[in-house]
């Protein structure tokens, strides 16, 4: 097995801690201790805790988009692609033991106090909406009377709502309801 690089270990440990206990509740000393590194090693790789936060957001977004792409790669039919997006979000909730969306959590913790984080999260959510938009547009191409923006917003909000609901209820029933509603929106 290949040894994990120090940079990657720091980022992995910080990511786990930021997600599990929050950015503000995670101290540099805890990251250093759990990554089993010297303080100088941390600052050789990241100039500050905020720099580490930015790297965390980029890593999580890349992982999120890569996972979504894998879940859509062999699917051609738009309605099945949308179902696959719902299933992907459901799987993320299940695998995190209903811990919620990395991006919603960090922006709710940081508030508007960190405009870089707010802008990053808004951009990430807009990328999700654009993916849905592209699929909806493809799915309703034969029916020009359908409002692509409205349907996209409805699907996006349903999925985001399912994430929040499943985080609170600690079950994935909301995603099954969303899949049924989404299929109805496209018919």
How many helices and strands, by DSSP H and E, does the chain display?
9, 0
Which segments of the chain belong to CATH 1.10.10.60?
A: 1-46
Indicate the pLDDT class of residue 1, thresholds 50, 70 and 90. Answer: low
User: Which CATH fold would you assign to the domain 1-46?
Assistant: Arc Repressor Mutant, subunit A (1.10.10)
Q: Using one digit for the tens of pLDDT, what is the confidence trace for 52-104? A: 999 999 999 999 999 999 999 999 999 999 999 999 999 999 999 999 999 99
The pLDDT value given to residue 86: 97
Q: What is the CATH number assigned to the segment(s) 60-185?
A: 1.10.357.10
Q: How far apart are CA 104 and CA 160, in angstroms?
A: 9
pTM, entire model: 0.91
- 120-175 pLDDT, tens digit each: 999 999 999 999 999 999 988 888 889 999 999 999 999 999 999 999 999 999 99
pLDDT for residue 48: 92
Terminal-to-terminal C-alpha distance of the chain: 50
């Amino acid at each position: 097995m290949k040894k994990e690089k120090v940079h990657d270990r720091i980022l992995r440990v910080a990511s786990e801690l930021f997600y599990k206990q929050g950015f503000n509740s995670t101290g540099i000393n805890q990251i250093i201790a759990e990554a089993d590194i010297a303080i100088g090693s941390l600052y050789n790789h990241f100039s500050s805790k905020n720099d580490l936060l930015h790297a965390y957001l980029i890593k999580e977004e890349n992982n999120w988009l890569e996972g979504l792409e894998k879940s859509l790669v062999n699917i051609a039919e738009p309605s099945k692609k949308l179902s696959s997006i719902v299933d992907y979000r459901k799987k993320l909730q299940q695998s995190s033991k209903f811990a919620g969306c990395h991006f919603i959590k960090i922006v709710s913790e940081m508030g508007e106090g960190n405009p870089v984080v707010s802008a990053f999260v808004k951009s990430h959510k807009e990328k999700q909406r654009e993916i849905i938009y592209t699929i909806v547009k493809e799915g309703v191409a034969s029916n020009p009377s359908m409002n692509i923006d409205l349907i996209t917003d409805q699907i996006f909000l349903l999925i985001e709502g399912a994430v929040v609901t499943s985080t609170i209820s600690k079950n994935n029933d909301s995603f099954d309801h969303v899949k049924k509603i989404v299929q109805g929106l496209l018919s």
